[in-house]
């Protein structure tokens, strides 16, 4: 018994150096595609000091003690942007011990956390939406919530949110399929809109002729009898996905 107790004590001593308060948070990458054919990300704006200096961030916050991750992601997104009923997909975990140590991030943490120096590990969730269906409204510590074009996103988002955003987009490219694309397009769309979306998501130009040839073979994409309205150029045919709500 003495040997066992001493052995357990040694184990505890070895493990003690790894025991420290670690907070768990969730950050949401919500991407939307609008009629202007630009892919945008939902960002919140928050004050980082009492001078009302601000920065942009992905919607994110701490997970509750008795809260599962998906429930937490849905609650956090709704509490900061008033958006709910999204399909959220977990795509990665970010645990750099230094991820919250930047001066501007510590300034914000000191305003809202009792222990701003404690480590925070965050879980990334991604969602894809038709922007026409979701109008964000800021709440909680967010002073604004807005859709921002990807190429206009600041390189100085809060914490490691630029990394999280880039990883989310890369995850999307690797998972790209019709079901995901459907979430970003209007119920009826032109082939130009469809190709533009694929080019944005894949970050590469696609040959127009080959793209349309492949689309013509796709049984899930249906050509409707309708055409664009109110455009200065020759109106294009509208398409829809099979079983899409029209």
Which pLDDT score, from 0 to 100, does residue 131 have?
86
Which pLDDT score, from 0 to 100, does residue 246 have?
47
Show pLDDT as tens, one digit a residue, over the chain (246 residues).
Answer: 555 555 556 665 665 666 568 999 999 999 988 777 788 999 999 999 989 999 999 999 999 999 999 999 999 999 999 999 888 999 999 999 999 999 999 999 999 999 999 999 999 999 988 888 889 999 999 999 999 999 999 999 999 999 999 999 999 888 887 777 777 788 888 998 889 888 888 888 999 999 889 888 877 888 899 998 877 788 899 999 886 554
- Spell 89-113 as b/e; 16+ CB within 10 A means b: bebbebeeeebbeeeebebbbeeee
Tell me the C-alpha to C-alpha distance, in Å, between residue 244 and each of 178, 181, 211, 212, 220: 11, 12, 21, 20, 10
Looking at the chain, which runs of residues are DSSP E strands? Answer: 22-33, 39-47, 54-57, 60-62, 89-94, 119-130, 144-149, 221-227, 237-241
Distance separating alpha carbons of residues 243 and 246, to the nearest angstrom: 9
The pTM of the whole model exceeds 0.85: no
Which pLDDT score, from 0 to 100, does residue 8 have?
58
């Amino acid at each position: 018994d003495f040997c066992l107790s001493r052995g357990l004590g040694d184990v505890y001593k070895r493990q003690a150096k790894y025991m420290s308060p670690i907070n768990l948070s969730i950050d949401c990458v919500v991407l939307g595609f609008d009629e202007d054919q630009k892919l945008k990300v939902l960002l919140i704006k928050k004050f980082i000091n009492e001078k009302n200096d601000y920065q942009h961030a992905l919607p994110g916050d701490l997970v509750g003690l008795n809260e599962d991750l998906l429930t937490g992601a849905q609650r956090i997104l709704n509490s900061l942007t008033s958006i709910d009923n999204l399909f959220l997909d977990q795509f990665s975990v970010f645990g750099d011990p230094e991820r919250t140590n930047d001066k501007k991030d510590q300034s914000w943490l000191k305003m809202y956390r009792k222990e701003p120096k404690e480590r925070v590990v965050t879980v990334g969730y991604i969602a894809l939406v038709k922007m026409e269906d979701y109008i964000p409204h800021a709440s909680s510590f967010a002073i604004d919530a807005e859709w921002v074009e990807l190429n206009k996103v600041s390189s100085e988002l809060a914490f490691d949110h630029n990394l999280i955003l880039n990883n989310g987009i890369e995850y999307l490219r690797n998972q790209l399929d019709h079901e995901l694309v459907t979430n970003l397009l209007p119920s009826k769309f032109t082939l130009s809109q469809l190709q533009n979306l694929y080019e944005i998501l894949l970050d590469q130009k696609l040959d127009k002729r080959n793209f349309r040839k492949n689309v013509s073979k796709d049984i899930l994409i249906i050509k409707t009898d309708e055409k664009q309205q109110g455009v200065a150029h020759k109106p294009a045919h509208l398409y829809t996905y099979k079983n899409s709500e029209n």
